[in-house]
């Protein structure tokens, strides 16, 4: 493989890394609170509000059931408003984050639902406020599951980011399509696949490691 090809691969890897990292952080920033809200406004929970909960649930479901490739195209106007363009890595981050937020929210929701109701009750009996219950009981107690859920989200984002390459988002996916597919460069195709697999492995192993470290049960 030529020096130029190698440069392209390194560049692609950098772009993928950038897209995945930024969209992971954005999805955590919005997805985790959204997951918390989905739990606490649910039936019998500390801030029950069923109308709100069901409306939010429906929006989350709608976003989740839209295939990524369609979502990406459908929100182009919104992407333009946010980043000023609909092409490039920065533009790809918008649909990536929007796809990942509801996914992570659901994962966080199910992780927090696992927290024993007895713990909430104990905290209430000590005079804890709603905020304290969320920050000091619900999130710390479900942290290992949240970390695993976040890991899952990052891995999905690696896959989606390759798809984003198809509409000019850059990154390894873009490389694979332009060289591997359109110019029949099997070596480039193979290299991108190997790099993507390695990324997924590293993310999964680190996620498992941190979740295990956090689990005191």
CB 43 within 8 A of CB 49: no
Tell me how many residues contact other proteins (CB under 8 A): 21
Is 124 one of the binding residues for other proteins (CB under 8 A)?
Answer: yes
Is 48 one of the binding residues for other proteins (CB under 8 A)?
Answer: no
Closest CA to 93 of 103, 83, 84: 83
Residue from the set 125, 182, 184, 186 that interacts with other proteins by CB under 8 A: 125
Give the shortest CB-208-to-other proteins separation in angstroms.
18
Is 113 one of the binding residues for other proteins (CB under 8 A)?
Answer: no
Question: Applying CB under 8 A, which part among 34-42, 88-96, 121-129, 162-170 lies near other proteins?
Answer: 121-129
CB 207 within 8 A of CB 147: yes
Residue from the set 29, 58, 119, 198 that interacts with other proteins by CB under 8 A: 119
Question: Applying CB under 8 A, which part among 38-46, 51-59, 118-126, 145-153 lies near other proteins?
Answer: 118-126
Give the shortest CB-185-to-other proteins separation in angstroms.
50
Of residues 146 and 191, the one with the C-beta less far from other proteins: 146
Query: How far is residue 137's CA from residue 122's CA, in Å, rounded to a whole number?
Result: 10
Closest CA to 211 of 144, 155, 138, 142: 144
Residue from the set 48, 55, 136, 190 that interacts with other proteins by CB under 8 A: 136
Is 43 one of the binding residues for other proteins (CB under 8 A)?
Answer: no
Query: How far is residue 72's CA from residue 79's CA, in Å, rounded to a whole number?
Result: 9
Give the shortest CB-122-to-other proteins separation in angstroms.
4
What are the helix (H) ranges across the chain?
3-40, 50-65, 68-74, 76-83, 89-113, 117-125, 130-132, 139-164, 171-175, 186-214
């Amino acid at each position: 493989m030529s020096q130029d090809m190698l440069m392209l691969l390194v560049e692609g890897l950098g772009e993928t890394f950038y897209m995945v990292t930024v969209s992971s952080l954005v999805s955590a920033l919005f997805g985790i609170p959204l997951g918390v809200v989905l739990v606490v406004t649910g039936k019998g929970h500390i801030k029950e509000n069923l109308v709100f909960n069901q409306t939010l649930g429906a929006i989350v479901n709608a976003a989740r059931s839209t295939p990524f490739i369609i979502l990406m195209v459908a929100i182009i106007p919104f992407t333009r408003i946010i980043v000023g363009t609909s092409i490039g890595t920065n533009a790809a981050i918008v649909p990536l984050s929007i796809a990942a937020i509801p996914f992570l929210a659901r994962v966080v929701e199910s992780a927090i639902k696992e927290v024993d109701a007895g713990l909430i009750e104990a905290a209430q009996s000590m005079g804890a406020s709603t905020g304290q219950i969320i920050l000091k009981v619900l999130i710390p107690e479900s942290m290992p599951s949240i970390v695993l859920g976040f890991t899952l989200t990052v891995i999905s984002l690696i896959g989606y980011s390759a798809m984003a390459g198809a509409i000019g988002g850059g990154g390894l996916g873009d490389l694979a399509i332009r060289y591997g597919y359109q110019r029949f460069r099997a070596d480039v195709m193979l290299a991108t696949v190997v790099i993507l697999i390695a990324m997924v492995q590293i993310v999964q192993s680190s996620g498992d490691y941190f979740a295990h470290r956090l689990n005191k049960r």
